Amino acid sequence: MISFSDLYCVLTAVVPLYVTMFLAYFSVKWWTIFTPDQCAGINRFVAIFAVPLLSFEFISRINPYKMDLLFIAADAVSKLLILFVLFSWAKFSKRGSLDWAITLFSLSTLPNTLVMGIPLLKSMYGDDKESLMIQAVVLQCVVWYTLMLFLFEYRAARNILIQQKYFNGTNGIINTERNMDNHGGIQKLGGGSVGGEDENFNKVAPDSKGFNPIVTAAAAEEDGKEFHLFIWRCRCCNSEGVCEQSVQACHKEEENKTKKIDGEEVGTPEAIKVTEYSSSISSEMLKQILKIVWFKLVKNPNSYASILGLSWALASCRWGIKKPQILENSVTILSNAGLGMAMFSLGLFMALQPKIIACGNRLAAYGMLVRFVAGPAVMAVASIGVGLRGTILRVSIVQAALPQGIVPFVFAREYNLHPDMLSTAVIFGMIVSLPVTVLYYILLGL
């Protein structure tokens, strides 16, 4: 059973993270030290420098030749099962989407094993189980974080190409300067951006007595919202062309079936066209998307960190090679700041939100269910399926019930994909994780 000293060991690992987060929160909310642009810059530093070096440092210390293959198989099978279900839902369900598939995969399969898992599982099942947690962390860094980066870049590249395909296909009606941002937005479109931040554009239409509205399908979807351009054609024109009198751009919820403009209804057929247009990807477009993703990943330090770390671990364990002290110190000086800076970035993000539970109570509750119920349930099925029994089976299930990992939030904020939900899962997941994991520990021990 967990003793008071074991509980104190867990708290010594968790409490400093909350101290860091609250310092960041107060520095924006109370002391106004950082601006929003500076907060974004700090998160980018974490994503580009701190996290890759932390991954390299941790992976390079593992012994790849002494890993529990059944435990690794159970972890991989559980994640692949969840991936299959989520992407089938995104493909065949009207309510499904790639965005939510990525977020739900992160919520259900990527726990905070490094910070909470190692001290907690050591306290529950003994020091010899620490190696299993280290193996889980290494697999996350090498395989699953790399897969997450691929999915993020795929989503960003898809949005870019769909937007370009639409705007290039308007026969010169809309001529805008298009600049790609870092992760898939199109900037300088009427002074805003599409695909990166969820901006709201309003260019007021002229007196519409002499104009007919023509709804032109927009390019991308963002969190269930569709972007529509309303082009106003002059009634006095007999030609098929469209007068460039004005453009009104607005965000329209997907469930809104009709929209009245000066008494005239713009109904669902146009919305259906948007969905069909956005979801159809030709083989040529898929090649372009994969090409963009390849170049993005090649330039991403996180890709090299995993490969280099695993390569060094294989070589050092095989031939007994040790890192030179200069290299060791150069990596350690920034990797030690990785987790702390990630929590600092989390605190900055929370301070910029209008409320603590940034995603809302309902989504927060769904996130907790996915994290602490769905994830462990799938892990239990996968572990039993591959043949895990006894203590290792219990370890695999409790490990899956740990709180949300911090690194997935950093990536979610960098790519602007539901960072509010990931931040809520990290903060409140750490609060409720201790009683939840103790409950699993007791139930599995009966």
pLDDT, tens digit, 9 for 90 and up, residues 152-198: 999 999 988 888 776 665 443 333 334 444 444 433 333 333 334 44
Residue ranges and CATH numbers for the domains of the chain are 4-161+287-445 (1.20.1530), 172-281 (no CATH)
Name the percent of the chain lying above pLDDT 90: 28
At 81, which amino acid appears?
Answer: L
Chain mean pLDDT for the chain: 76
More confident of the two residues 365 and 187? 365
Q: Residue 105: pLDDT above 80?
A: yes
Instruction: Provide the CB-side half-sphere exposure for 300 (13 A, CA).
Output: 27
Q: Which residues contact 406 (CB under 8 A, 6 or more apart)?
A: 17, 112, 115, 339, 342, 343, 346, 426
Helices marked H in 93-214 — which ranges? 98-109, 118-125, 130-139, 145-168
Strand 247-253, strand 225-234: pairing: antiparallel
What was the pLDDT predicted at 280?
57
Q: Residue 266: pLDDT above 80?
A: no
Question: What is the spatial distance between Cα 197 and Cα 207, in angstroms, rounded to a whole number?
Answer: 30
**0.95 exceeded by pTM:** no
Q: Which residues contact 207 (CB under 8 A, 6 or more apart)?
A: none
What was the pLDDT predicted at 5?
76
Asked whether the beta carbons of 220 and 202 are under 8 A apart, the reply is no
What was the pLDDT predicted at 117?
81
Asked whether the beta carbons of 245 and 199 are under 8 A apart, the reply is no
Confidence of residue 130 (pLDDT cuts 50, 70, 90): confident
Asked whether the beta carbons of 382 and 77 are under 8 A apart, the reply is yes
Strand 225-234, strand 211-216: pairing: antiparallel
What was the pLDDT predicted at 358?
81
